[in-house]
Amino acid sequence: MGGQIIHIACDHGGFKLKESLIIFLSGEGYDVNDLGTYSEESVDYPVFGKKAAEAVLSDGNPAIIICGTGIGISIAANRHKGIRAALCHCPEYARLTRQHNDANILSLGGRFTPENEAKKIVKAFLATGFEGGRHKNRIEMLDN
Protein backbone atom coordinates (compact mmCIF):
# COMPACT_ATOMS: atom_id res chain seq x y z
CA MET A 1 0.00 0.00 0.00
CA GLY A 2 1.39 3.42 -0.96
CA GLY A 3 1.67 6.44 1.29
CA GLN A 4 0.20 9.89 0.77
CA ILE A 5 0.92 11.31 -2.68
CA ILE A 6 3.14 14.40 -2.86
CA HIS A 7 3.61 16.07 -6.23
CA ILE A 8 6.98 17.67 -6.84
CA ALA A 9 8.18 19.90 -9.68
CA CYS A 10 11.12 22.19 -10.33
CA ASP A 11 13.12 24.03 -12.95
CA HIS A 12 16.88 23.61 -13.42
CA GLY A 13 17.53 25.90 -10.41
CA GLY A 14 15.64 23.48 -8.19
CA PHE A 15 16.74 20.19 -9.71
CA LYS A 16 19.38 19.20 -7.13
CA LEU A 17 17.14 19.99 -4.19
CA LYS A 18 14.23 18.15 -5.82
CA GLU A 19 16.32 15.02 -6.19
CA SER A 20 17.34 15.02 -2.53
CA LEU A 21 13.78 15.75 -1.36
CA ILE A 22 12.46 12.83 -3.41
CA ILE A 23 14.85 10.50 -1.58
CA PHE A 24 13.92 12.09 1.75
CA LEU A 25 10.15 11.91 1.17
CA SER A 26 10.29 8.35 -0.12
CA GLY A 27 12.19 7.39 3.02
CA GLU A 28 9.43 8.99 5.09
CA GLY A 29 6.87 6.77 3.35
CA TYR A 30 5.38 9.29 0.91
CA ASP A 31 4.51 8.35 -2.65
CA VAL A 32 6.27 11.04 -4.69
CA ASN A 33 4.91 12.05 -8.11
CA ASP A 34 7.88 13.58 -9.91
CA LEU A 35 6.67 16.05 -12.55
CA GLY A 36 10.18 17.09 -13.63
CA THR A 37 12.33 18.70 -14.70
CA TYR A 38 14.72 15.76 -14.90
CA SER A 39 18.13 17.40 -15.36
CA GLU A 40 19.99 20.67 -14.85
CA GLU A 41 19.43 21.69 -18.46
CA SER A 42 17.78 25.11 -18.62
CA VAL A 43 13.97 25.03 -18.74
CA ASP A 44 11.15 27.52 -18.09
CA TYR A 45 9.74 27.63 -14.55
CA PRO A 46 6.16 28.59 -15.66
CA VAL A 47 5.80 25.17 -17.29
CA PHE A 48 6.58 23.38 -14.01
CA GLY A 49 4.52 25.69 -11.82
CA LYS A 50 1.58 24.92 -14.10
CA LYS A 51 2.17 21.15 -13.98
CA ALA A 52 2.20 21.21 -10.17
CA ALA A 53 -0.91 23.41 -9.96
CA GLU A 54 -2.83 21.14 -12.31
CA ALA A 55 -1.80 18.05 -10.36
CA VAL A 56 -2.94 19.56 -7.04
CA LEU A 57 -6.24 20.71 -8.53
CA SER A 58 -6.86 17.28 -10.05
CA ASP A 59 -6.40 15.10 -6.96
CA GLY A 60 -6.18 17.41 -3.94
CA ASN A 61 -2.76 16.19 -2.84
CA PRO A 62 -0.12 18.80 -1.94
CA ALA A 63 2.87 19.75 -4.03
CA ILE A 64 6.39 21.01 -3.53
CA ILE A 65 7.78 23.32 -6.21
CA ILE A 66 11.34 24.56 -6.51
CA CYS A 67 13.12 27.07 -8.72
CA GLY A 68 16.27 29.08 -8.05
CA THR A 69 14.57 31.49 -5.68
CA GLY A 70 11.18 29.81 -5.36
CA ILE A 71 9.64 33.06 -6.55
CA GLY A 72 8.99 32.54 -10.26
CA ILE A 73 7.54 29.05 -9.88
CA SER A 74 5.24 30.17 -7.04
CA ILE A 75 3.98 33.12 -9.11
CA ALA A 76 3.22 30.65 -11.92
CA ALA A 77 1.36 28.24 -9.63
CA ASN A 78 -0.60 31.02 -7.95
CA ARG A 79 -2.13 32.04 -11.29
CA HIS A 80 -4.42 29.03 -10.92
CA LYS A 81 -7.67 29.48 -9.03
CA GLY A 82 -7.70 27.27 -5.96
CA ILE A 83 -3.93 27.21 -5.61
CA ARG A 84 -2.27 28.72 -2.58
CA ALA A 85 1.47 28.37 -3.11
CA ALA A 86 3.68 29.70 -0.32
CA LEU A 87 7.39 30.42 -0.57
CA CYS A 88 8.90 29.41 2.77
CA HIS A 89 12.37 30.16 4.09
CA CYS A 90 12.04 28.48 7.47
CA PRO A 91 9.88 25.83 9.20
CA GLU A 92 7.86 28.47 11.06
CA TYR A 93 6.69 29.99 7.76
CA ALA A 94 5.65 26.50 6.63
CA ARG A 95 3.67 25.91 9.84
CA LEU A 96 1.99 29.30 9.64
CA THR A 97 1.07 29.05 5.98
CA ARG A 98 -0.61 25.70 6.62
CA GLN A 99 -2.40 26.96 9.75
CA HIS A 100 -3.52 30.32 8.35
CA ASN A 101 -3.51 30.08 4.54
CA ASP A 102 -4.23 26.37 4.03
CA ALA A 103 -1.37 26.46 1.53
CA ASN A 104 -1.59 23.52 -0.86
CA ILE A 105 1.82 24.07 -2.46
CA LEU A 106 5.13 24.64 -0.73
CA SER A 107 7.65 26.63 -2.75
CA LEU A 108 11.39 26.51 -2.04
CA GLY A 109 14.42 28.34 -3.39
CA GLY A 110 16.86 25.71 -4.58
CA ARG A 111 19.77 28.16 -4.68
CA PHE A 112 19.09 29.65 -1.25
CA THR A 113 17.72 26.96 1.04
CA PRO A 114 20.23 24.40 2.33
CA GLU A 115 19.12 20.78 2.02
CA ASN A 116 18.81 20.19 5.76
CA GLU A 117 16.72 23.31 6.25
CA ALA A 118 14.56 22.33 3.27
CA LYS A 119 13.83 18.95 4.89
CA LYS A 120 12.75 20.68 8.11
CA ILE A 121 10.53 23.06 6.12
CA VAL A 122 8.95 20.16 4.23
CA LYS A 123 8.34 18.21 7.45
CA ALA A 124 6.66 21.20 9.08
CA PHE A 125 4.52 21.84 5.99
CA LEU A 126 3.30 18.25 5.78
CA ALA A 127 2.74 17.81 9.51
CA THR A 128 0.60 20.92 10.04
CA GLY A 129 -3.15 21.23 9.50
CA PHE A 130 -5.33 24.21 8.61
CA GLU A 131 -6.79 25.98 11.65
CA GLY A 132 -10.01 27.00 9.90
CA GLY A 133 -12.12 29.44 11.93
CA ARG A 134 -11.43 33.06 11.03
CA HIS A 135 -8.94 31.95 8.38
CA LYS A 136 -11.57 30.07 6.38
CA ASN A 137 -13.40 33.21 5.18
CA ARG A 138 -10.13 34.80 4.25
CA ILE A 139 -8.95 32.01 2.00
CA GLU A 140 -12.42 31.81 0.42
CA MET A 141 -12.08 35.50 -0.46
CA LEU A 142 -8.98 34.72 -2.52
CA ASP A 143 -11.00 32.86 -5.13
CA ASN A 144 -14.08 35.08 -5.22
135: Cβ contacts below 8 Å, ≥ 6 apart: 99, 100, 101, 102
With CB under 6 A as the rule, give the number of residues binding ligand RB5: 8
CB-CB contact of 88 with 108 (8 Å): yes
Contact between 142 and ligand RB5 by CB under 6 A: the answer reads no
Of 102 and 109, which has the nearer Cβ to ligand RB5? 109
Q: How far is the CB of 129 from ligand RB5 (least distance, A)?
A: 29
Q: Which is nearer to ligand RB5, 11 or 102 (CB)?
A: 11
Question: Of residues 6, 17, 30, 45, which one binds ligand RB5 by CB under 6 A?
Answer: 45
- Residue 49 binds ligand RB5 (CB under 6 A): no
Given its phi and psi angles, is residue 104 left (phi above 0), alpha (psi -120 to 50 degrees) or beta?
Answer: alpha
| Distance (Å, whole) CA 15 – CA 13 | 6
Does 11 engage in binding with ligand RB5 (CB under 6 A)? yes
